[in-house]
Structure 1
């Protein structure tokens, strides 16, 4: 089959280049047409590397009347149906706040100046030297008058400088950036009569910058079912637009198409952005995998910005990442980013580390990791810091040994690996509770239990915390490649020992439901001392078939 590797759009987000060079393209232009002709001022939140820039450049080409680029696409017939009003040529101002020479209001002004000058040149209008800044209100009026058409304004990654300033921890710089943005959006709002369409994209709704307060009629389409697949690639679209590329990858890897698709699905699929049960693949990861025929962490290598990497560990990760599909959040907490708030769910969702998996009866969203790539990526960010392991390579080394232990059947080796990963677990929060000894012990036990969950989730094992059975609630159940381990976790106080913890697990029949299968089943009692040392006792309750 004739697959041209040069036609994968891995290195460009330019709709113009993709169409002119005949690159592989998934046609979503009908959604572009509907959005532009049914809305006027909109905001879209999606994670990095999810096609937002490509979307805005497609909208720019449409509003500029680039008819030739849309021939053969769904948008073409829709636009032709408008008759004499079709393919109007609007001036387009396209600003990108991730494309700054430095993190400062001056650099933001420089970018705005360059983008305005580019649009003025296209219309043959005079431009100002860099030292003479434009009045945005006057520019929009000038473009409107000169072209006879209202102006489209597209704003890419509008929140990027704010997040970067937060990472730097520079309060004065943050205030300066917010002040600049308030003035920028105030000028756009003042030119409302000259606006045809305005769209801003970013990770989240950041308040106090003027975008959402300045435009009273701004429409947030981030959770609307009609636009849930406007970015990303659905499985139906793979079959419609990329069947040969999928078959090529399957052939290279010696798999059937169904087997290859299952691997791609586990690695890159699973993102859901509305109440509708539609999910999409991360297009950047999928396209790179189809081109290279390899399943690698493409998004996490390039899509994890410094802001996400630095901001996420500020939160208390162990209490959040239960990874069992029962994390709940309402739409307000998922759509807005309050950097002074301690709840990480909103930021984890907005940055692509959590996604919607369902809804409860109260209308709240249920959250979990979208796929394996994201699970592995956030573990590399959270686990070393949360577990108190100073060096990332130390965590990877200990993690690698844990994987080997899980692939074997030596329970003692597994216990040693667990102890190594838990050895540095910090307890700073306990200092506030010295007067309540009972509370201290409860916090410590819960923290160890959640730490075990985090550790095993990071190696893609099936780990279940506090499982309810006929005899009671077991603490941790680990379903490894070649063995099942049920751990009863206790703190070493009031005469508690590993032997007593094991006896409780056996007495309550916690391991019984796993017996009878192919894998050996171990019941383990673990008693944790005040300084973090763990006493173990284990018993094999089923040897496996």
Structure 2
């Protein structure tokens, strides 16, 4: 929806009603949402952090609750049956860090109890979490006369927060599995289910029998369900573009693709909103949560950083993610540091995904984050990064040679002592590329 009037920027706002009532910009996602609801019943969506997953689920909540006024002027307003409403059970694990099964169980029980009160349901019988969740679903169906909707946000965060401690992560995984497994037998009582998160854990390890969960992460019709498109930037946010380089916006923040050939790339919404607010380019998304676990893992696995520009992977590898089996491909892709660039199919029905860095923000920031683990301190880097462009512009070859010698002279001997020559050379190539 185009507008000539400057509205408020919804930085960090994940509540649909606040955006619609508060005079904020809103990119209409209801055409995709309508298709989603019509096509299936159980959904799973993986997207990187701060990509709008929470707002998507809150939009669904308001829709199923029949809050018609909030959708005035949007695509779905005249196409939805507002007379039929459904009780909504919404759970989220997005806030805080849980470091034990006991803490997780407390969080789950608190949310189940809060939902009961919001739906006007009586207290549950004295039972375990699985029994309490089952009772909540059935009671909501019985009292409201319509099958409930379940929306689960950041379903995997308790596990991801503890990946450095595999035993603890497995303990939390079992706690979540105990909760999610309820939905299989509750199917007759459920109208719609959607789970969102960053990673895609295997159905066997976490969902225990919920085999009808439709993963739409790479489905073309839903590739733009989160994030902003070029058209969104040029229409919805047109009043914010004055004084900003349009091509630079695209270069810095566009480039995320989830799907096959011809897929419309999307912008990181968190970056775009902060750019419009601060009026200067910066790695806002990257800096919002430094990926220390990722950087350490890349160091441990000796990832050759130039390969990040053209990484090839089989579809099965991108879906392989578990506490005891974290593939580098899946980790980089699911967390948003690599994106789908192309699909090759040299052998029929055996696609090979070509992955690459999505945009300038990720390329620059990830390489800068990797330099310290490659042996280049931030102090050295800050000094050298100012000097390098000057030398290149002046075609000062002698100065460039001295510059590179200074760069490598600062590397600790431990980086290459007793290492195979291939790793030794790869390390130096990675330093050169990241620099």
TM-score calculated relative to the size of structure 1: 0.72
Q: How does 1:73-472 map to 2 (within 5 A)?
A: 73-80=74-81, 86-100=82-96, 102-127=98-123, 135-167=132-164, 170-207=165-202, 210-247=205-242, 250=243, 260-277=245-262, 278-304=264-290, 307-308=293-294, 310-318=296-304, 320-324=305-309, 326-341=310-325, 343-362=327-346, 363-385=351-373, 387-389=374-376, 391-423=377-409, 424=411, 431=418, 440-455=420-435
User: Do 1:136 and 1:187's aligned partners in 2 also have CA atoms closer than 8 Å?
Assistant: yes
User: Do 1:182 and 1:209's aligned partners in 2 also have CA atoms closer than 8 Å?
Assistant: no
- Give the CA deviation at 1:148: 0.8
Structure 2: distance between partners of 1:295 and 1:129: 55
User: Do 1:329 and 1:366's aligned partners in 2 also have CA atoms closer than 8 Å?
Assistant: yes
3-state SS of the aligned residue for 1:273?
coil
Relative to 1, partners in 2 of residues 1:159 and 1:342: Cα closer, same or farther, differing over 3 Å?
A: closer
Give 5+ residue unaligned stretches, structure 2.
Answer: none
Relative to 1, partners in 2 of residues 1:118 and 1:379: Cα closer, same or farther, differing over 3 Å?
A: same
3-state SS of the aligned residue for 1:266?
helix
Relative to 1, partners in 2 of residues 1:25 and 1:130: Cα closer, same or farther, differing over 3 Å?
A: farther
Relative to 1, partners in 2 of residues 1:235 and 1:181: Cα closer, same or farther, differing over 3 Å?
A: same
User: Do 1:430 and 1:443's aligned partners in 2 also have CA atoms closer than 8 Å?
Assistant: no
Structure 1: distance between partners of 2:39 and 2:326: 37
- Give the CA deviation at 1:95: 1.3
User: Do 1:185 and 1:210's aligned partners in 2 also have CA atoms closer than 8 Å?
Assistant: no
Structure 2: distance between partners of 1:216 and 1:132: 24
Structure 2: distance between partners of 1:203 and 1:333: 16
* Aligned counterpart, 1:474: none
Structure 1: distance between partners of 2:344 and 2:364: 27
* Aligned counterpart, 1:18: 19
User: Do 1:156 and 1:202's aligned partners in 2 also have CA atoms closer than 8 Å?
Assistant: yes
Structure 2: distance between partners of 1:171 and 1:345: 19
TM-score calculated relative to the size of structure 2: 0.89
- Give the CA deviation at 1:315: 3.1
More strand by share: 1
User: Do 2:125 and 2:132's aligned partners in 1 also have CA atoms closer than 8 Å?
Assistant: no
User: Do 1:164 and 1:307's aligned partners in 2 also have CA atoms closer than 8 Å?
Assistant: no
Aligned length in residues: 426
Structure 2: distance between partners of 1:342 and 1:9: 34
* Aligned counterpart, 1:509: none
Structure 2: distance between partners of 1:416 and 1:393: 18
Q: Which has the larger radius of gyration?
A: 1
User: Do 2:97 and 2:158's aligned partners in 1 also have CA atoms closer than 8 Å?
Assistant: no
User: Do 2:89 and 2:150's aligned partners in 1 also have CA atoms closer than 8 Å?
Assistant: yes
- Give the CA deviation at 1:18: 0.2
Structure 1: distance between partners of 2:261 and 2:60: 25
User: Do 2:258 and 2:340's aligned partners in 1 also have CA atoms closer than 8 Å?
Assistant: yes
3-state SS of the aligned residue for 1:149?
coil
Relative to 1, partners in 2 of residues 1:421 and 1:194: Cα closer, same or farther, differing over 3 Å?
A: farther
3-state SS of the aligned residue for 2:341?
strand
Structure 2: distance between partners of 1:301 and 1:58: 27
* Aligned counterpart, 1:50: 51
- My pick for the range that moved more, 411-420 or 398-407, is 398-407
Structure 1: distance between partners of 2:49 and 2:57: 14
Structure 1: distance between partners of 2:166 and 2:422: 37
Structure with larger RCO (C-alpha < 8 A, sep 6+): 2
Q: How does 1:520-531 map to 2 (within 5 A)?
A: none
Deviations 1:329-357 (A, max 9, x none): 12221233245457412211111111111
- Give the CA deviation at 1:212: 4.1
Structure 1: distance between partners of 2:177 and 2:255: 36
Deviations 1:40-82 (A, max 9, x none): 11111111111111111111111111111111101112215xx
- Give the CA deviation at 1:203: 1.6
RMSD of aligned alpha carbons: 2.7
3-state SS of the aligned residue for 1:188?
helix
User: Do 2:228 and 2:266's aligned partners in 1 also have CA atoms closer than 8 Å?
Assistant: yes
Structure 1: distance between partners of 2:417 and 2:230: 47
3-state SS of the aligned residue for 2:89?
strand
Relative to 1, partners in 2 of residues 1:266 and 1:124: Cα closer, same or farther, differing over 3 Å?
A: same
Relative to 1, partners in 2 of residues 1:294 and 1:446: Cα closer, same or farther, differing over 3 Å?
A: closer
